[in-house]
C-alpha cells in the first residue's frame, strides 16, 4: 500500500471509497474499505473478499482488470478507466455518442457478461447497472463492482434468493426474493441497453417503492422511442421480460447485437 499514491476520490459508497491513484508511474483505481468493525462491516468485508477473489481469476477486455489487493488497509487495486461510469457519460450532453458507439457499448457489456456466465461455476453479477460499467480512454466498456456477485448454486438446496442490486435495474424475481439465475443479469442488461440508446435515466424521478410497484404490479418498463431500430427494440423487450425463462442468454444477445448495422439508414 505504501507504493500507492492516492490522488483524488472518484467514487464513494456506504462502505468503500474509490480513489484515483498512481502505482509505479501507472494510473490505477483503488477501492478502499472504510469504517470500523462489527455488524454490517463484517458482511462488507466478506463482499470485498468475494470481489477480490473473483477479480483475481477473471481476465477479459470487458471486465475491469485487477492489479492486486492489500490487507491493511483493505483495498483492491484495479485498472483506471479515465472516462468514468456509463451513467454519467450518457447523461453528459457535451459527449457525442454516435449510433456506432452505442452499438459497440452494448456489445462490450454483453461480451463481458457472456464471459461471466460461461465461467464454471457460472458467475451471476447481481448488481449490473450503468454505474457499474466503466469506460476507458479508448471507449471500451468494462463491467466492474463484483461485491454482490455469486457463483450459481449447483444444487437445489443452494438456490439463490434474497435481494441484491438496485431496484431500477433489478429483475422481478430478485425484487420478490424468489429463486433466480443468471437471467436476472439479462434483465438488468435490457435496462442498460435502453439507457445507452435513449441516454435517459430509467424510471427518472420515481422513488424505489414506486419503481417496485411499476415493475412488479403493473409490469411497466421504460418507454422505447418509436425511432429505436426494430431489432434492438425487440432485443431490449425480450431481455426485460417478466418471465426469466424467455429472456435470451448473453450468447444469443451478443450474436444479435453483432447483426445490428454499424450505420443507421
pLDDT digits (tens, 9 = 90+) for 144-161: 886 655 555 443 333 443
Give the pLDDT mean for 108-117: 97
Give the pLDDT mean for 228-242: 97
pLDDT at residue number 36:
54
32 is in an annotated binding site: yes
Is the distance from CB of 239 to CB of 193 less than 8 angstroms?
A: yes
Burial of 221 (0-12, 13-18, 19+ CB in 10 A): buried
Nearest Cα to Cα of residue 124 among 143, 106, 142? 143
> Do 141 and 190 share a domain, yes or no?
yes
CB atoms inside a 10 Å sphere around CB 220: 12
pLDDT at residue number 145:
80
Q: Is residue 43 part of a domain?
A: yes
> Do 205 and 98 share a domain, yes or no?
yes
What is the chain's mean pLDDT, rounded? 86
> Do 223 and 252 share a domain, yes or no?
yes
> Do 163 and 137 share a domain, yes or no?
yes
Q: Is residue 161 part of a domain?
A: yes
Of the candidates 79, 106, 129, which is a domain's last residue?
79
> Do 72 and 102 share a domain, yes or no?
no
- Catalytic site includes residue 127: yes
Catalytic residue among 47, 93, 108, 127: 127
Share of the chain above pLDDT 70, in %: 88
Residue 31 domain boundaries: 4-79
Give the pLDDT mean for 209-228: 93
Of the candidates 57, 79, 101, which is a domain's last residue?
79
Q: Which residues pair with 131 in a beta bridge?
A: none
Report the C-alpha gap between 148 and 161 in whole angstroms.
13
Is the distance from CB of 77 to CB of 30 less than 8 angstroms?
A: yes
Report the C-alpha gap between 112 and 132 in whole angstroms.
12
> Do 43 and 58 share a domain, yes or no?
yes
Q: Select the more confidently predicted residue: 2 or 222.
A: 222
Give the pLDDT mean for 65-84: 84
SS (H, E, C) 168-233: HHCCHHHHCCCCECCHHHHHHHHHHHHHHHHCCCCCCCCCHHHHHHHHHHCCCCCCCCCCCCHHHH
190-216 pLDDT, tens digit each: 999 999 999 999 999 888 889 999 999
pLDDT at residue number 162:
44
Report the C-alpha gap between 129 and 87 in whole angstroms.
8
CATH of the domain at 40: 3.30.200.20
CATH of the domain at 146: 1.10.510.10
Length of the chain in terms of residues written? 265
Q: pTM of the prediction?
A: 0.85
Nearest Cα to Cα of residue 66 among 78, 52, 82? 78
> Do 105 and 188 share a domain, yes or no?
yes
| Count of the separate structural domains present in the chain | 2
Nearest Cα to Cα of residue 185 among 259, 112, 256? 112
Amino acid at each position: 500500500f505504501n507504493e500507492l499514491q492516492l490522488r483524488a476520490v472518484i467514487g464513494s459508497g456506504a462502505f468503500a471509497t474509490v480513489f484515483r491513484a498512481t502505482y509505479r508511474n501507472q494510473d490505477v483505481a483503488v477501492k478502499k474499505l472504510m469504517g470500523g468493525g462489527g455488524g454490517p462491516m463484517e458482511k462488507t468485508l466478506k463482499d470485498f473478499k468475494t470481489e477480490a477473489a473473483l477479480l483475481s481469476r477473471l481476465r477479459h477486455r470487458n471486465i475491469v482488470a485487477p492489479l492486486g489487493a492489500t490487507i491493511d488497509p483493505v483495498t483492491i487495486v484495479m485498472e483506471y478507466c479515465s472516462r468514468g461510469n456509463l451513467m454519467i457519460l450518457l447523461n453528459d450532453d457535451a459527449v457525442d455518442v454516435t449510433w456506432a458507439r452505442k452499438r459497440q457499448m452494448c456489445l462490450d457489456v454483453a461480451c463481458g457478461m457472456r464471459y461471466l456466465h460461461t465461467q464454471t461455476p457460472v458467475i451471476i453479477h447481481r448488481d449490473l447497472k450503468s454505474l457499474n460499467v466503466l469506460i476507458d480512454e479508448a471507449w471500451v466498456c468494462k463491467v466492474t463492482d463484483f461485491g454482490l456477485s455469486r457463483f450459481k448454486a449447483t444444487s437445489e438446496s443452494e438456490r439463490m434468493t434474497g435481494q441484491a442490486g438496485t431496484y431500477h435495474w433489478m429483475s422481478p424475481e430478485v425484487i420478490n426474493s424468489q429463486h433466480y439465475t443468471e437471467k436476472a443479469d439479462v434483465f438488468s442488461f435490457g435496462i442498460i441497453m435502453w439507457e445507452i440508446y435513449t441516454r435517459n435515466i430509467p424510471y427518472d424521478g420515481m422513488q424505489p417503492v414506486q419503481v417496485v410497484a411499476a415493475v412488479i404490479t403493473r409490469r411497466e418498463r421504460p418507454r422505447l422511442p418509436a425511432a429505436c431500430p426494430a431489432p434492438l427494440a425487440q432485443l431490449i423487450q425480450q431481455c426485460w421480460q417478466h418471465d426469466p425463462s424467455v429472456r435470451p442468454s448473453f450468447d444469443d444477445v451478443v450474436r444479435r447485437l453483432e447483426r445490428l448495422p454499424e450505420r443507421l439508414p
